[in-house]
Amino acid sequence: MSVIGQRIGRLEDRRLLRGLGHFVDDVDRAGQLWMRVLRAPLAHARILSIKAEKALALPGVEMVLTGDDLAWVKPIPVRTRTEHPLDDFLQPVLARERVRYVGEPVAVVLADDAYLAEDAAELVEVEYEELPVVLDAREAIRSDAPQLRDEVGNEAATLSMGYGDIEEAFRNASRVIEAEFKIGRHSGVPLETRGLVAEYDRGSDHLTIWGSTKVPHFNRRVLAQLLDMPLSRISIKKTDAGGGFGVRGEFYPEDFLVPYLARKTGRPVKWIEDRAEHLIATNHSREQRHRLQAAFDNENRLLALRDEVWHDNGAYVRTHGVIVADLTLAMLPGPYRVPAYEGTAHVALTNKTPCGTFRGPGRFESTFAREHLLDVAAAELGVDRLELRRINLLDPSEIPHVRPLSTLSTDVILDAGDYGGLLDKALQHSGFEDWVEEARELRDQGRLVGTGIGYFLEKSGLGPYEEATVEVDPTGSVRVLTGGASLGQGIETVLAQIAADQLSVPPEEIEVIHTDTDLLPDGVGSWASRSTVVGGSAVMLAAKATVEKALRVAAEVLEASTEDLFLESSEVKVAGSPDKALTLGKLAEACDPQRSAAMGEEPGLGARRTFSVEHMTYPYGVHLAQVEVDPETGGVEVRRYFVAYEIGRAINPTLVEGQLIGGAAQGIGGSLFEEFRYDESGQPLASTFIDYLEPTVAEIPQVRTLICEDAPSPGNPLGLKGAGEGGAVGCGAAIAGAVEDALRTPGAITELPITPDRIRGLARRRDRPTRLGAT
């Protein structure tokens, strides 16, 4: 039986559950200095002067550096480039002349310990001249708005895409439904904050860095450029990571500062972000306003969709460039038949923390906008919300569906699927009809219970390629090197299963190594739900090539024909000769450099392979929710939650379920609780967990899941589609729909998160106030 598809326990948990993980804060280097970042206390201000004398006077303080000291450093470049010129909006590693958001790095302090560094940072005196702020994307792009930069304006980019004759479609429409929605600013908040340790050896001009996640090879290239160092003189080393979610692992100012200071001082430098920093320094995400129009014919068929998006990007364009807005527009039509489409997005800069990607970037937002629009349309058109979706979902006969759009530099080709079929399965497995019935009964008892649905299309498996090496050593130990990174998602387990399947070795005996630029000098990283799809395919190819080599070598050693050989239980055996067998370890021994050369082989038993893809693969699914609203407190209780997800093939269903459940928790958080709010001066109001409301186990229901493997991707050998983000992206729509259903106020929920304040406001405006309770 193939080990693929088996629910083996996470291999990394052998380490993590025994407290033997090796997170960046576990890295200590002898003689290390601690870095503390002094951050701007104002959202918009001119820096008049910085005085470090008092800080430097503290014994044990090694150095204070300001933006003027680093004027030679280029700003942090964009990783996910588009054709938009963004150079004017990039973030410098330390602010110069002006600060543009609360939390912007202004100076760094190096000291012998973390506490001293923090104390010293408080002694650095910065004189500011406050400037007017702009905090709303739509306002920011008005000509009379306060300007973050002279001359270049606050609109970093205007994106537009579409196809079909949109004007004609709207002219011919029998009904046009309009709506405006806002998605709140929230983000990934991993259990482990960011951190970095860097060590420099002056003699060999070599930097070693711990704490990089997500895209270590890309970050190494950026650092090499910024520091003007040869690539091979920078080693990025593996650490465990307590969550990533898109925000952790991008190249931030600190990713320059820590290695640079290690090189400058010749001493190791360590920096661990504290939680208060994290909430203002690490990428925010999601904040968008959508103005939507949908044209329907008289059979409730969509003729066209139009969306104008104001994307609040905060004060700078960071490494994601404008890709979240790009994805928002490209993914908006989703799984539906949309004959004409026009999307426009204004990427606006405001005096808030810069934004980046967060689990399901552009999809959480666009799914909420589109699905909630369909809910509104269903109510206005007088058609059942499920029926409206069924009418408009692309039919299996229309798949693969080439949508005349492109995003992330790839064409959008929906590769495999039966969208209606999945909806039916989801409804059946969840018992959604019973949920609806139950909600009706409870409403009849005066309780505010409703159900909601969010159908989503996901994208995954972004290219251009991933690297993998499989190595068997003479002791028989198998090592898999991947260009992917661990963000806690279980990559070690999944890749071990894929390799084990080929090598006929128990996955427990396979060591998966990620984030080691010495061992694997190239890689693309773990983001865009690509680690299993692209990275796993590379591992499969490398493992397959390793087996082929093992058979070739065994044929030489055993003087047999490869046709008579087969691999079983880590041994190459000869059909019909049970006594003749060679373990993979013995075969690795036979692959010493000299014997390999004699056989015309490269040294060692193993192979490095690249898996390249041109197009993404598009998983899809549906979120179903049943909620109850407490009209008095404004609280929303999620009573039932279900996610169905078509992912082509599940390497380890337990891990896929974990991804879906964890994703749903974050999606529910963004739908009901989590929001980075600011006061009118641009001061963040959510800088602790008292104010930034991460849902806990008390708020998250038991999320049930259905993993479907009905539509394998044709784009990779295992038929994989990515499982990392679908758990989050449908939540906004499902929850908002369910709350509206509970309140019987179609179209009333226009903003996420649906906070108690907003619920209470809504409840007060409801048609049937008597239903709100006795008080």
* Residues at the interface with a copy of itself (CB under 8 A): 15-16, 18, 20-22, 28-32, 201-204, 221, 224, 229-233, 240, 464-465, 467, 471, 473-477, 479, 511, 516, 518-519, 521-522, 592-594, 596-597, 602-604, 608, 610, 612
Residue 591 or 733 having the CB closest to a copy of itself: 591
| Comparison of 69 and 548: residue with beta carbon closer to a copy of itself | 548
Q: Tell me the closest approach of the beta carbon of residue 419 to a copy of itself, in angstroms.
A: 32
Q: Which of 503, 534, 651 is nearest to 511 (CA)?
A: 503
Give the nearer residue to a copy of itself in terms of CB position, either 522 or 699.
522
Evaluate the CA torsion angle 714, 716, 719, 720 in order and state its sign. Answer: negative
Tokens of 137: 């994307």
Decide whether 132 or 717 has the Cβ nearer to a copy of itself: 717
Q: How many CA atoms lie within 13 A of 180 on its CB side?
A: 5
**Which of 31, 446 has the CB closer to a copy of itself?**
31
Q: How many CA atoms lie within 13 A of 708 on its CB side?
A: 24
Smallest distance from a copy of itself to CB 713, Å: 19
Shortest separation between residue 515's beta carbon and a copy of itself, angstroms: 12
* Element at 370 (helix H, strand E): helix 363-381
Kindly state the helix (H) or strand (E) to which residue 181 belongs, with its residue range: strand 175-183
**Is 329 or 520 the residue whose CB approaches a copy of itself more closely?**
520
Q: 208 or 687: whose CB is closer to a copy of itself?
A: 208
Tokens of 252: 């931030």
CB of 528 to a copy of itself, least distance (A): 16
What does the CA dihedral 216, 221, 226, 229 come to, rounded to 10 degrees? Answer: 110
CB of residue 660 to a copy of itself, shortest distance in Å: 27
Half-sphere exposure of 131 (CA within 13 A, CB side): 25
Cα angle: 674, vertex 677, 683; to 5 degrees: 140
Minimal distance, residue 20 CB to a copy of itself, in Å = 3
Least distance CB 608 / a copy of itself (angstroms) = 7
Minimum CB separation from a copy of itself for residue 424, in Å?
40
Min separation Cβ 203 and a copy of itself, Å: 3
Tell me how far CA of residue 183 lies from CA of 680, 749, 751, in angstroms: 19, 11, 6
Q: Which one, 221 or 389, has the nearer CB to a copy of itself?
A: 221
Q: How far apart are CA 101 and CA 45, in angstroms?
A: 9
- Identify which of 537, 536, 528 has the alpha carbon closest to the alpha carbon of residue 724: 528
| Cβ closest to a copy of itself, residue 202 vs residue 768 | 202
Which of residues 224 and 700 has its CB atom nearest to a copy of itself in the complex? 224
Please, which residue, 507 or 737, has the CB nearer to a copy of itself? 507
- The token duo for 10 is 């996470």
Two structure tokens written together for 309? 């998006």
Considering only CA atoms, which of 523, 179, 625, 88 is closest in space to residue 374?
A: 179
* Closer CB to a copy of itself, 197 or 703, in the complex: 197
- Tell me how far, at minimum, the Cβ of 243 lies from a copy of itself, in Å: 18
Closest CB 309 distance from a copy of itself, rounded Å: 32
User: How far is it, in rounded angstroms, from Cα 492 to Cα 513?
Assistant: 7
Q: Rounded to the nearest 5 degrees, what angle is found at the Cα of 744, between the Cα atoms of 738 and 750?
A: 65
How near is the Cβ of 268 to a copy of itself at its closest, in Å? 9
* Closer Cβ to a copy of itself, 67 or 523, answer by number: 523
- From first CA to last CA, the distance across the chain in angstroms is 62
Residues in CB range of 626: below 8 A, 6 or more apart: 435, 438, 439, 449, 450, 451, 452, 638, 639, 640, 641, 738
The continuous run of DSSP H or E covering 501 comes out as helix 491-503
In terms of CB distance, is 268 or 737 closer to a copy of itself? 268
CB of 237 to a copy of itself, least distance (A): 10
Question: 3-class SS at 598?
Answer: helix
Contact present, 363 and 459 (Cβ < 8 Å)? yes
Report residue 628 as tokens. 């109850």
The closest of 565, 503, 21 to 242, measured between CA atoms, is 21
Of the candidates 443, 445, 464, the one whose C-alpha atom is nearest the C-alpha of residue 610 is 464
- Stated as kind and residue range, the H or E segment containing 742 is helix 731-743
> Residue 724, exposed/middle/buried by CB under 10 A (0-12, 13-18, 19+)?
buried
Give, in degrees to the nearest 5, the angle at Cα 262 between 257 and 263. Answer: 100
To a copy of itself, the closest distance from the beta carbon of 65 in angstroms equals 23
| CB nearer to a copy of itself: pick between 22 and 84 | 22
Residue 463 CB, shortest distance to a copy of itself, in Å, is 8
